[in-house]
Amino acid sequence: MRQSLARTSEPPVKGGLFPGLPFRAVYEFHRPFMTSGLSSSRTFLLPPHKMLSLMTKIMNAIRNSKMPSSAIVGNFVLFQVLWFAAILGAAGGVLWPVMLVLAALVGWALVHERNPRQEVRMLLAGLVIGAAAELVWLNTGLISYQLAWSAHFAPLWILALWGGFAVSLNYSMGWLRGRPLIGAAFGGFGSVGSVIAGVRFGAAEAPEGMLLLAVCYGVIWSLIVPILAWWAQRGQVAQGPGKNVKPGKNVKEGAGKDAGSNGHGPRSIA
């Protein structure tokens, strides 16, 4: 009876939107959560009061931001789509979806950004820092990627993720700016979860084992995220107030109010 149930629970290996995607790897990634129940997956979550505190800080940071909410929400959605397009595309041997989504993410940012140079500088920073970090993992044999054009350099879909994440620090990830400790924790734990998911989905392999790769990933990402967040904050401070703020109009209105309390303009001394 148990053997028959085990056989019927096996998912098909082929099929779907991405014919080359190893669906058995996807099933193995989700099986611990499906078979062990919610109680065992609680170890992956923060305690409820800490999760609530973190979400409150994030919402306050977004609320205090001068960026329109549409820009933040749109960036958040596009970055999630970018991640899945990169991972599933690499596992299935398809490159164009991630490049298309990256173009959409950068285009969305340029529409809402008053100074395109800020988006370009963040995109370039993500590409440069990401390429340098990938040299460490690739040349030490800790990881190997699908759709790789070289065994020593990062593939294009990985660089697209780096660039998209860096640009997102001006939008949905903007709450990390000015919070280096939270940024380090976010980079350390978030990167480990991301690379484990990438390996389980078949987009990458860990020749030296997942533990060593996860430790190296977490340490380096915990340093990179605060650096990129600081770079994004520095660019925002250098630009001054947002494009939605009209200082000229505010100055004129303030001058009118200060000139006369009755609203009829300045009174003549004579």
Among 224, 49, 218, CA closest to 126: 224
Q: What integer pLDDT is reported at residue 112 of this predicted model?
A: 82
- Residue 203 contacts residue 20 (beta carbons within 8 Å): no
Average pLDDT over residues 48-74: 64
What is the structure's pLDDT at 209?
92
- Torsion sign, CA atoms 47, 50, 53, 54: negative
Report CA-CA distances (Å) from 42 to 29, 35, 47, 48. Answer: 16, 14, 9, 10
Buried b / exposed e across 81-101, counting CB within 10 Å, b at 16+? bbbebbbbbbbbebbebbbeb
For the ranges 10-14, 231-235, 250-254, the lowest mean pLDDT is seen at 10-14
Handedness of CA 146, 148, 151, 152 (dihedral sign): negative
Q: In whole angstroms, what separates CA 140 from the centre of its chain?
A: 25
Instruction: Measure Cα distances from 178 to 126, 129, 225, 226, 228 in Å.
Output: 18, 19, 11, 8, 11
Which tokens hold the place of 106? 């950068």
Please write the tens of the pLDDT for every residue from 164-220: 999 999 999 999 999 999 999 999 999 999 999 999 999 999 999 999 999 999 999
How far is the C-alpha of 174 from the C-alpha of 237, rounded, in Å?
A: 13
Residue 30 predicted with pLDDT over 70: no
Structure confidence by residue, pLDDT tens digits, 88-119: 999 999 999 999 999 999 999 888 876 788 88
Of the chain, the percentage scoring pLDDT greater than 70 comes to 62
Amino acid 63: pLDDT: 52
- The Cβ-side half-sphere exposure at 70, using a 13 Å CA radius, reads 4
CA 199-201-207 angle, to 5 degrees, is 25
Tens-digit pLDDT profile for residues 112-161: 876 788 889 999 999 999 999 999 999 999 999 999 988 889 999 999 99
CA distance 153 to 131: 7
Across 62-83, average pLDDT? 81
User: How many Cβ atoms from other residues are within 10 Å of residue 179's Cβ?
Assistant: 16
Check whether 269 has a pLDDT greater than 70: no
C-beta of residue 229 within 8 angstroms of C-beta of residue 184: no
Quote the CA–CA distance of 123 and 232 in Å, as a whole number: 10
Q: What is the pTM of this model?
A: 0.68
CA distance 138 to 152: 6
